[in-house]
Chains A and B, each alone.
Chain A
Amino acid sequence: MAISLKLNGETHTVEADPGTPLLWVIRDELKLTGTKFGCGVASCGACTVHLDGEPVRSCQTYIEDVEDAEVTTIEKMEEDRIGAAVQQAWLELDVVQCGYCQSGQIMSAVGLLRENATPTAAQVDDYMHGNACRCATYQRIRAGVLRAADILEA
């Protein structure tokens, strides 16, 4: 079926069966590959995107459920005030290693800072718990979120 989708501010019409995860529409149909496939069961967070500004796991979000929503991916984050601050913090601290999970980490971090501008380390741990990083860059992720909060406060 033809589904209309608002992605990063543009409206696209895609041909996809109902039940198709948003992840695969973004990656395979719209060719935006910053959003990653890690587990397919919402257990790693590599596929995190924003749905009307809220982080969701795109591997468990179905295309028919997002027709009227705004979908935002990592590719749009540099234009987002909080997204840009998180990216800057990530660069300052060289958070990434392999980098495969980092799109999802950043999308979650932006979600956290949107609802809590001054999180504590414990609140960062709570919020980011579902984003796995097999390289275990966690302490830089934690420091990166706190640094981004500082950047935004300045």
Chain B
Amino acid sequence: MTTKISRRSFLGTAAAAGAVLYVGATAKGAVAASGTADAMLNPFVKINGNGSVVAVVKHFEKGQGPATGLTSLIAEELGVTMEQIGYEFAPSDAATYNNLLFGPFQGTGGSTAMANSWMQYRTAGANAREMLIKAAAQAWGVDAAALDIQAGQISGAGKSAPLGEFVAAASGFAPSETPRLRDPSEWKIIGNPETRRKDSPIKVNGRAQFAMDVQLDNQMVVMIKRTPQRGGIVAGFDDSAAKEVTGFVMAQVLPTKHGVAVYAENTWAAMQARAALEVEWDLSAAEVRSSQEIKDEIMAALHTAPVYNVNKADHAAVSSAVENAAQTVEKTFYFPLLAHAPMEPLNCTIEQTAEGDIVLHDGAQMPTGPHMAYQQIFGLPPEKIHIKTLLAGGSFGRRATPDADYQVEAGLAFVLTDRTRPVKLVWDREDDIRGGYYRPAVGHKVRVGLDESGKIVGWEHQVAGQSIMKGTAFEGFAVHDGVDHSSVEGIADSPYVIPGMALGLTDTKKATSVLWWRSVGHTHTAYVMEVMMDMAARAAGHDPVAFRLSYLSGDKDQERKAAVLRLAAEKGNWGGPAAGHVQGIAVHKSFGSYVAEVVEISGSLEGGIQIQKVTAAVDCGIAVNPDVIKAQIEGGIGYGIGHAMRDQITLEGGAIEQSNFPDYEPLRISDIKAIETHIVASPEAPTGIGEPGTPPSAPALANAIAQLDMVVSELPMSEHGVAFA
């Protein structure tokens, strides 16, 4: 997902959010004694009958931290400690739990969880606080202004009681649209580096419930034998060998005909039976191209005039400036398809209740997608469909597809049964690597002209690749004047003030389904921008940091980017690597946040390179949970560098060649010796953190490798001249 968050629209949506808060007012009887009903003070704050507070978290938890972050906001404003508050995931209800930056759509993506929830959740916590205080003030006959809640205790005017005592009375009050938000000077949780993750304890003792762990009574497991080439359909199948497998139940062709559903009593039986199933495929309409053909098409597009003039530049004038420059640096880049490969393979479980309702158990990244799809599949009104969100074992974008691919697959497989037994759809790793929704293959061609003093006089930039958004339900959201913003984000909206930039874009044919992949277009645009910046700096004979800073003066946008660059350079000891080491640097803005990274490496191109240290500086606005932010930067760096080092998805005759981790090798513990993250103190509203650590990581590595006299312009690096130790 890509979402621009301007300060103005952010405040606008936050204000609108305040207006939709409602009071559940369903509390019955006294609270704070066991056995009483739970009370919803508003959709985001629930207080259980025993007085314990629960934050209702509208974003799913795939490790990026909203279970901790959104809970922190409620706890801070309400006045409870992090130990006094629990969390639960919101039901699927787009009217109440929508992402404020996505419109009437409930979902997580584009690093927006904190950005869109920041005011909404603080307001909800503050509202709950004010309602409880009002109830206490009435009961005690004191002025509400004299009361506050701290650590779950309402105190003031000589009185004190646990907040649980006033929940029932508080439920009768209407929430204020503009409750008093606590001043930053009062914050105890927001910004506290000691705050621990709420989901850690259950993730270290095996009790965490991921969707894959759902075990419903009498459930079947279904696995799909899918077409080996996208677009292929089932012509027929023979399940006589599958019938020999203990636990095999049945095999059915999916209505889409893209595969055969194999039902069994358990996962292992489903795997065995699927392996034994013989399928005859009709591949007459299937993809037959190879990666080389896909690349050839993209490269050819880079050498013809672009279809879209993205920034409405005078291309002829920019070309002429580059042609006539004192010096020209140019490079053509190519980026392969990439799989997301989250640790938990895709899965979900579906059941029908006695009332005929449909319940989906899912690590649901975008509940509204399957919720809408299921209305069609089951012919049910929205209120008869329920989605229970469980923990997700990673996603990196994969659990959010515009067509709700795996949830639809489970729904179709369920319809083929008599619906008396729950059906759990399980993908294995081979399904995941081959069941394709990939970071698009993309090419860039850039020419930069420099004058005698080494200043940029023209930057001609052409992008060709597969559009993620076109042809999907998100087209209207992200495609304007034909330009899929996600193809050029990070260039078109770069804070660099570059004179004479011409940015062109050409869409190429989709080889297979393409999808946002952690940091979306920034996965390749940051690489190209930052490698070109380094090439230009070297040609100009300038230090890469000083060179970049000369294009980063202007307003706050430039200043914030410059500040992280300076901080990373300072903390990463820029210009002073350890003996035998070389360094590279990159800086990039994405999802409203600014990240700079210094990569320090040892070794040689032939003997093998070792990444010794990555030093990062990040400005993501107010750092709500600093340690979660550091963790996301660490993970974002690993994700970016790991794939740049050695991963690609390739096709031969239309079929994906890779199948599992042995040939789609994950980053391993020994690949990066150390990562250090520094956070810039900021008064700005929080911006993204799940993705922004990824974009600068690979170009910073490439710029370090460039010190060994090799500019890597095609990924993965291991396939293009770089050995890793």
Contacts and interface: CB of A to CB of B under 8 A. Distances in A.
- By size class, the interface of chain A is 35 or more
A34 B197 CA distance: 19
A6 B482 CA distance: 63
Given A134-B342, A142-B669, A96 B204 contact: yes
Interface stretch (B32-40, B392-400, B496-504, B575-583): B392-400
Nearest to B428: A40
Interface in A128-149: 128-129, 131-142
Contacts of A98: 61-63, 342-344, 391-394
Nearest to A131: B669
A77 B205 contact: yes
Contact of A41 (B637, B662, B670): B662
Given A28-B267, A44-B661, A98-B392, A135 B669 contact: no
Among A73, A131, A132, A138, the most chain B Cβ lie within 10 Å of the Cβ of A138
A139 B674 contact: yes
B666 A134 contact: yes
A136 B206 contact: no
**A87, A96, A100 pick with most chain B CB within 10 angstroms:** A100
A39 B204 contact: no
Interface in B384-411: 391-394, 396
Nearest to B265: A28
B697 to A, nearest CB: 10
The size class of the interface chain B forms with chain A is 35 or more
Nearest to B209: A33
A140 B634 contact: yes
Contacts of B393: 36, 98-101
Interface string B680-706: 000000000000000000000000000
Contacts of A125: 669-670
B631 interface: yes
Interface in B196-231: 196-197, 199-210, 212-213, 215
A135 B639 CA distance: 7
B21 interface: no
Nearest to B344: A100
Contact of A32 (B206, B271, B344, B429): B206
A11 interface: no
Nearest to A27: B267
A96 B203 contact: yes
Contact of A99 (B199, B268, B429, B639): B199
B396 A141 contact: no
A20 B272 CA distance: 10
Contacts of A29: 266
Given A32-B206, A40-B429, A134-B341, A90 B200 contact: yes
A138 B200 contact: no
A91 B201 contact: yes
Given A33-B215, A39-B429, A99-B391, A28 B266 contact: yes
A32 B635 CA distance: 28
Contact of B208 (A43, A46, A99, A136): A99
B321 interface: no
Contact of B206 (A37, A75, A139): A75
Q: Chain B CB within 10 Å — which of A35, A136, A140 has the most?
A: A136
A7 to B, nearest CB: 13
Interface in A1-47: 17, 20-21, 24, 27-29, 31-41, 43-44, 46
Contact of A90 (B204, B342, B637, B660): B204
Nearest to A143: B674
A15 to B, nearest CB: 9
Contacts of B674: 139
A55 to B, nearest CB: 15
Contacts of A137: 631, 634-635
A17 B266 contact: no
B345 A38 contact: yes
Contacts of A100: 210, 342-344, 393-394
Interface string B627-669: 1100110110111001000000000000000001110001111
B64 interface: yes
B672 interface: yes
Contacts of A35: 206
Nearest to A39: B429
B36 to A, nearest CB: 32
Contact of A43 (B215, B344, B428, B661): B661
B200 A36 contact: no
A19 to B, nearest CB: 9
Interface in A67-104: 73-75, 77-78, 87, 90-91, 94-103
Contacts of B707: none
A97 B205 contact: no
Contact of B266 (A24, A36, A135, A142): A24
B396 A134 contact: yes
Given A97-B63, A100-B343, A135-B635, A34 B207 contact: yes
Interface string B35-73: 000000000000000000000000001111100000000
B420 interface: no
Given A91-B200, A97-B635, A74 B205 contact: yes
B392 A37 contact: no
Contact of B205 (A75, A133, A138): A75
B675 interface: yes
B667 A136 contact: yes
A94 B631 contact: yes
Interface string B256-287: 00000000001110010000000000000000
Most buried by B among A101, A121, A131, A134: A134
Nearest to A122: B670
B660 A136 contact: no
A75 B246 CA distance: 29
Contacts of B642: 136
A91 B632 CA distance: 17
A73 B563 CA distance: 48
Contacts of B345: 37-38
B25 to A, nearest CB: 36
Contacts of A21: 268
Contacts of B660: 39-41, 43
11 contacts: A24-B266, A28-B266, A31-B215, A41-B661, A75-B205, A96-B63, A96-B199, A97-B635, A98-B343, A134-B394, A134-B666
Given A97-B64, A100-B343, A103-B206, 9 more contacts: A24-B266, A29-B266, A33-B215, A98-B393, A99-B200, A100-B394, A136-B638, A137-B635, A140-B634
Interface of A: 17, 20-21, 24, 27-29, 31-41, 43-44, 46, 73-75, 77-78, 87, 90-91, 94-103, 106, 121, 124-126, 128-129, 131-142
